[in-house]
A and B are shown apart, each in its own frame.
Chain A
Amino acid sequence: MNHCCVQNVRVCAGRQVILDDVSLSVSQGEWLSIVGPNGAGKSTLLSVMAGLKSTSGSVRVADIDIADMTPRQRAHHMAYLPQHPEVPPGMSVGGYVLIGRNPHIPLLGSEGQRDIEILNEVLEQLSLEDFRDRTLDSLSGGELQRCHLARVLAQDTPIIFLDEPTTALDLGHQQQTLDLICRIRSQRELTVVMTMHDLSLAGQYSDRIVLLSQGEVASEGSPEDVLNPDRLSALYGARIKVMEVDSDIVVIPTRSREL
């Protein structure tokens, strides 16, 4: 079953076309990664899918056009994490994660027992219990990223959109973050759509990859199909090898010996 369906999406900024006639679909419970060179339109596509950017064409979630949804209805279906989330100084981890509960609380209301229970569950799930009263600005990059994920999970939506969730992290934290998403995804049967720069990680964790180039879908399919060394070399303007190590796909940039 298609969970999220994008049809003929076109986004322009002035004269520049950022996304040109992009169509794709995501099935329920699928992990889809959107990859592509800088400026290919990955982040734009993600925010269009999350309903945060208006567009010609349509995005349907659970068979409803998201243009017909209120922000609150959208926030019940999907959660979104930008590449550089805002970190309000002095805000506690608990207070921040609780913001994810906003769609479940009336505009002028305050959180109830259920919201606090979910906060506790999410903090426990991401091993953040001890950080609850710490302020966001006192955390390390990896801890902060866990808080962002916790906020997204507290929203309790069937789909989550993550914009380059591992970019600012070191190798270990990249793996830990993706392992965490993988674990929670199977626990909660989440649909995950994320943009990624690291093609190896995208290949290892995703069910399917969409490769964007200059605002168009250049290739789409299983990691083995999309991560083709010739195609990647041409699109990225790079020298790239694709190997398999212990049945994991690995994309390696190589140095030219001619220089």
Chain B
Amino acid sequence: MGEAGPSSASPLAEKLQVSVVLTGVFACLLAMGTSLAIGPASINKIAVFKELIDRLPFIAVDSGLSPIHKSVIWEVRFPRILLGGLVGSTLAVSGASYQAVFRNPLADPYLLGAAAGAGLGATVAIVSGFGDGIGAFDMVPVLAFLGAMSAVVMTYFLGYSSGARRSPSALLLAGVAVAAFLTAIQTFIQQQNVDSIRQVYSWILGRLNTASWTEVKLLAPYALVATLVMLLSRRTLDVMRLGDTEASSVGLRPQVVRFLVIAAASLGTAASVSVSGLIAFVGIIVPHAVRLIAGTSNRIVLPLSVLYGAAFLVFVDLLGRSLVSPAEIPIGVITAFCGAPFFVVVLRTSRKALA
């Protein structure tokens, strides 16, 4: 096989194209850089750049910024950007994974009740007064996380007790039931506590404006582990595209793959919503835009969703906080407002079929 050299160098059409990856990286850096430089506190943009360079190892540049400006950059803007990137990439890759594992293009990360569970958890935390924290500890993300995870676990058991082993659609329907049930409880509690309705409402619309290093540290470990598991499953998720029978004929246990990927995606989603509230649309729009641009293989869609999800949410957050500055538009509103038309454009200009 002497002539196999050049062809084995490019084994598959399902490989990441350098240009698409570089565009994604560039979009991320652009969104992050712009976000760091723009904000209600007007800070010299070149000084921000110098300040960034200064933080690189072995390089010392004097940015000439005051300690207040430095802390605006490092304690306010930077954690918010990181949080936006983490939430965006986690939601996008979770959405892509849900779509792959259910073989359903409309699947999104909130499908199995994560959003409803998180909403209930957050509402309970806010109305019971824990919203201001027990001591220095904010209970809203903790209860939101627990709510989201319990909702997904509930859906999983309910679905499997009613035949999801044979068909994953039982799981989807169980998700609908659990979400409706938890939303009913959440709405009831909210109606009983009208005084905190504003706070609950603003949580539900999603926000990154309370972001600090605490939230970043809270989310990062979950987001990284979940994303890693999903990315490692990308080849297997392509095998799952053949359906359960053929997948098991090539040696997979479809239920095991589904469990693993759903667990990772739900963990990532729960951790994300617990710190950011419910940010809609990212989990659907980003993976589909990636599919339309770069192809349907999960080997491509999953890693690119991480990149483009991060860029998308950081950019959208920038819009949300600068369009009506110093006030803010809730990020969930902007994701839908910008995301939907953007998606239509991609849909209309693309010649590639949706999976």
Contact = CB atoms under 8 A, between A and B. Distances in A.
A155 interface: yes
Given A71-B252, A89-B353, A133-B13, A116 B243 contact: no
Contacts of A82: 245-246
A95 B299 CA distance: 10
Contact of A108 (B13, B233, B245): B233
Interface in A112-171: 113, 116-117, 119-121, 129, 132-133, 137, 155
Contact of B13 (A70, A95, A116): A95
A116 B353 CA distance: 27
Nearest to B236: A107
Contacts of A117: 1, 4, 8
Interface in A65-90: 70-76, 79-80, 82, 85-86, 88-90
B155 interface: no
Interface in B302-355: 352-353, 355
B232 interface: yes
Contacts, number: 110
Interface string B1-24: 100100110011110000000000
Contacts of B13: 92, 94-95, 132-133
B250 A91 contact: no
Contacts of B238: 88, 91, 95, 99
B165 interface: no
A94 B12 contact: yes
Contacts of A227: none
Contacts of B233: 108
A137 B241 CA distance: 14
B296 interface: yes
B355 A89 contact: yes
B70 to A, nearest CB: 42
A95 B296 contact: no
**What range describes how many residues of B lie at the interface?**
35 or more
Nearest to A116: B11
Contact of B12 (A85, A89, A95, A102): A95
B242 A92 contact: no
Contacts of B243: 86
A162 to B, nearest CB: 12
A62 interface: no
B196 interface: no
Nearest to A102: B250
B217 interface: no
Contacts of B4: 117, 120
A112 B281 CA distance: 37
B251 A75 contact: yes
Contact of A90 (B242, B245, B257, B353): B353
B228 to A, nearest CB: 9
A101 to B, nearest CB: 8
B251 A76 contact: yes
B1 A120 contact: yes
Contacts of A110: 235
B44 interface: no
Interface string B47-73: 000000000000000000000000000
Contacts of A47: 245
Interface in B218-276: 229, 232-233, 235-236, 238-239, 241-243, 245-246, 248-253, 256-257
A37 interface: no
A48 interface: no
Contacts of A121: 1
Contact of B297 (A72, A86, A90, A119): A90
A10 B210 CA distance: 64
Contacts of A103: 250-251
A91 B246 contact: no
A111 interface: yes
Contacts of B355: 88-90
Closest 10 CB pairs of A and B: A75-B251, A90-B296, A103-B251, A92-B13, A108-B232, A72-B251, A88-B241, A133-B13, A80-B249, A102-B250
Interface of A: 47, 50, 52, 70-76, 79-80, 82, 85-86, 88-92, 94-95, 98-100, 102-103, 105, 107-111, 113, 116-117, 119-121, 129, 132-133, 137, 155
30 contacts: A52-B245, A71-B248, A72-B252, A75-B249, A75-B251, A79-B249, A82-B246, A86-B241, A88-B238, A88-B241, A88-B242, A90-B291, A90-B295, A90-B352, A90-B355, A92-B12, A92-B14, A95-B13, A95-B299, A102-B251, A103-B250, A103-B251, A107-B252, A107-B257, A108-B229, A108-B236, A117-B1, A119-B11, A121-B1, A133-B13
Given A89-B296, A103-B251, 17 more contacts: A52-B248, A71-B251, A74-B251, A75-B249, A75-B250, A79-B250, A80-B249, A86-B242, A88-B238, A88-B296, A88-B355, A95-B238, A100-B250, A107-B256, A108-B229, A109-B235, A111-B235
